[in-house]
């Protein structure tokens, strides 16, 4: 059992609440390999139901409803026009949903008894729900037949529980959504990839149909509409139209107010741009200590997003913190590519990204060997580059650190559901239509779908139904500040890594050099996060058996971002360590020890002995590379559509 004080041996995975009848059909427990869920949170004391359910001014309410109708008519017209234009330049079914659900229909038709049995179970559940609702209407006390899973924020308004009609709507929805997903999960005759795609998109459909997403079935929205004479819908339509216009006809949901200015109140760590080429600006940050470790630290963030996730605010800036620990910190700021760079390849990112940065650090400091960090796709590129360097006897990297970075993609999570030949073909066509790049908004939508209720539907309710303006939130501002992807590098990445898993299999070549991760024998530090839905911890753990040198693997609390950006001063979350390296991640976790707080000090304790002696602090521009610009540079300020 893990030394965590918890009975949960595995990282949690979203699970659906189950009805009693549905549970009986699955036997005892979960299917082999299914993830455990978090222990239920203790119930909170119920708040009193709202009694304010009146229209304050009928005349104003009627006038506002007329305005809402006019806005809706304009919105529908603009949407139809945009869809007509979009159909001429983009694939009609880019996600290949028609093919996927055709396979589902075929599989279900071969077993009609499954659907008949499932329909009987649903009817049985509805009969029981109706009986309980009738008893409640007569004043009797009843327990809910089905409840939202722990952590489901959609039904937190007290009127979902305390007003019978809304409680009935909520339970009806949960029964149907659970039944739909359970039925799909029991269909046989599908290969694993198709089955997972069907389950994923079935959940997307169920989430979209939640009663919380509609005015008349969400008590908070309906109550607000009456109390404000419909002003919330007027404001909501304005927000919606603004987001449609900002997205060029696509819906670009605003998650944060525009209260941030790069280089002014976000990405403010002092430093200089000391090198620039077509793909990168290299930032060197100003020291805050009189001496520093001899060996510089070079960071390669993901080029899917911008580097300042590591420098949001002074209090949570990883870059500032590492500078304070006495490191000469360099960070690559990737270009936001346009059509001019569409043919830049994955190998170009290695040569003009990693190799160019290594050369620049050497020129700036005189140090030939550096320690490196790779985050997410930046870490995947770094791992492939290290294998290339090992094959070509290039020893300029002394140690490597990976944040949420995968090398084996056999368990890459739900992102792998977007990568198969039909989808890749549609993606390639869409990128050609966009000048050879993937729009940043397309990538952002894909990531948001992985947590649709939190990152899509919660903002639909808040922005459009309640008519609220999002609050300034640095993390969500960064999340929306996405970058474009060049077609050549992006398609190579999706095909070779996600689809083929070529690097882990030893089948990947870069510049005609075959890559073997076993030849990477430098010290490696692997960070993963327990709730990471983009780079699952099980997937990252596989690297411990792919590389040939000493490896320290740690598991952080939280997810893909908060699991990394967790300064010690915050005193949040925890991390787990285990010096053993068993074959399976689950075995590793059972023997792991929990530590409260941030894992950053653990990294520094590991990195210090690998960083050399202390030398006088280096100022940006003091070496052979003159300062070209103030940090954070110019590339980071280029916005995507």
Distance CA 400, CA 634 (A): 27
Q: What is the DSSP letter of 525?
A: E
Listed in sequence order, the residues at least 6 apart from 4 whose beta carbon sits closer than 8 Å to its beta carbon are: 576, 592, 594
Task: Give yes or no: 376 in active site.
Answer: yes
In order, the DSSP letters of 396-409 are -EEEEEEES--S--
Phi, psi dihedrals of residue 485, rounded to the nearest 5° = -115, 130
Instruction: In whole angstroms, give the CA distance from residue 333 to residue 489.
Output: 17
For CA atoms 263, 267, 271, 275, the dihedral sign is negative
> For the packed helices 219-227 and 231-246, what is the interaxial angle rounded to 10 degrees?
110
Angle of helix 112-137 relative to helix 97-109, nearest 10 degrees? 100
> Per DSSP, which regions of 513-626 are E strands?
513-514, 524-529, 551-556, 574-577, 593-596, 614-616
- Decide: helix, strand or coil at residue 558: coil
Q: Tokens standing for 387?
A: 């294998």
Cα distances (angstroms) measured from residue 628 to each of 114, 282, 634: 67, 10, 10
| Among 342, 376, 412, 415, the one annotated catalytic | 376
- Angle, helices 112-137/164-185, rounded to nearest 10 degrees: 160
Alpha-carbon distance of 95 to 418, in angstroms, equals 7
Active-site positions? 376
């Amino acid at each position: 059992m893990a030394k965590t004080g918890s009975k949960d041996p595995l990282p949690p995975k979203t699970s659906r609440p189950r009805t009693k009848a549905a549970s009986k059909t699955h036997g005892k427990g979960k299917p082999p390999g299914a993830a455990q869920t978090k222990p239920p949170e203790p119930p909170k004391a119920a708040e009193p139901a709202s009694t304010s359910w009146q229209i304050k001014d009928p005349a104003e309410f009627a006038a506002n409803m007329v305005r809402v109708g006019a806005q809706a008519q304009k919105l529908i017209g603009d949407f139809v026009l945009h869809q007509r234009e979009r159909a001429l330049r983009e694939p009609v079914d880019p996600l290949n949903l028609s093919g996927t659900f055709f396979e589902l229909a075929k599989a279900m038709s071969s077993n009609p008894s499954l659907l008949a049995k499932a329909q009987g179970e649903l009817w049985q559940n509805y009969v029981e729900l109706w009986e309980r609702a009738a008893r409640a209407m007569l004043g009797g006390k009843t327990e809910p037949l089905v409840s939202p899973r722990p952590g489901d924020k959609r039904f937190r308004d007290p009127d979902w529980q305390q007003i019978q009609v809304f409680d009935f709507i909520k339970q009806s929805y949960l029964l149907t959504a659970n039944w739909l997903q359970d039925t799909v999960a029991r269909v046989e005759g599908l290969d694993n990839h198709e089955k997972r795609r069907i389950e994923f998109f079935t959940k997307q459909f169920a989430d979209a149909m939640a009663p919380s997403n509609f005015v008349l079935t969400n008590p908070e929205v309906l109550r607000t509409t009456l109390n404000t004479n419909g002003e919330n819908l007027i404001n909501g339509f304005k927000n919606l139209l603004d987001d449609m216009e900002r997205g060029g006809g696509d819906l670009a949901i605003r998650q944060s107010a525009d209260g941030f200015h790069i280089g002014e109140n976000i990405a403010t760590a002092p430093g200089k741009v000391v090198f620039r080429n077509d793909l990168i600006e290299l930032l060197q940050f100003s020291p805050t200590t009189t001496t520093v470790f001899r060996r510089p630290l070079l960071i390669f963030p993901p080029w899917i997003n911008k580097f300042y996730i590591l420098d949001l605010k002074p209090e949570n800036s990883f870059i500032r913190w590492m500078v304070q620990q006495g490191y000469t910190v360099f960070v690559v700021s990737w270009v936001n590519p346009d059509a001019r760079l569409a043919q830049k390849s994955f190998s170009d990112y290695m040569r003009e990204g990693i190799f160019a940065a290594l050369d620049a650090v050497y020129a700036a400091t005189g140090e030939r060997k550096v320690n490196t960090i790779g985050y997410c796709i930046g870490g995947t590129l770094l791992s492939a580059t290290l294998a290339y360097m090992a094959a070509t006897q290039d020893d300029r990297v002394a140690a490597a650190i990976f944040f949420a970075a995968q090398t084996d993609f056999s368990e890459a999570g739900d992102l792998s559901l977007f990568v198969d030949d039909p989808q890749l073909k549609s993606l390639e066509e869409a990128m050609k239509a966009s000048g050879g790049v993937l729009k940043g908004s397309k990538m952002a939508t894909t990531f948001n779908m992985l947590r649709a209720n939190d990152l899509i539907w919660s903002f639909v309710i808040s922005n459009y139904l309640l008519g609220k303006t999002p609050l300034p939130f640095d993390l969500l501002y960064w999340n929306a500040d996405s970058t474009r992807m060049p077609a050549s590098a992006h398609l190579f990445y999706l095909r070779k890594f996600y689809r083929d898993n070529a690097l882990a299999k030893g089948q990947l070549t870069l510049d005609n050099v075959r890559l073997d991760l076993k030849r990477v024998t430098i010290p490696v530090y692997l960070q993963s996060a327990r709730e990471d839905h983009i780079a699952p911890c099980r997937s990252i753990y596989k690297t411990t058996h792919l590389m040939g040198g000493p490896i320290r693997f740690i598991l952080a609390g939280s997810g893909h971002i908060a699991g990394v950006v967790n300064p010690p001063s915050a005193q949040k979350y925890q991390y787990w360590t285990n010096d053993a390296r068993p074959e399976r991640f689950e075995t590793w976790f059972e023997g792991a020890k929990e530590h409260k707080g941030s894992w950053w000090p653990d990294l520094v304790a590991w990195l210090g002995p690998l960083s050399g002696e202390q030398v006088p602090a280096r100022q940006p521009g003091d070496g052979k590379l003159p300062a070209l610009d103030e940090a954070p540079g110019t590339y980071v300020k280029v916005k995507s559509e």
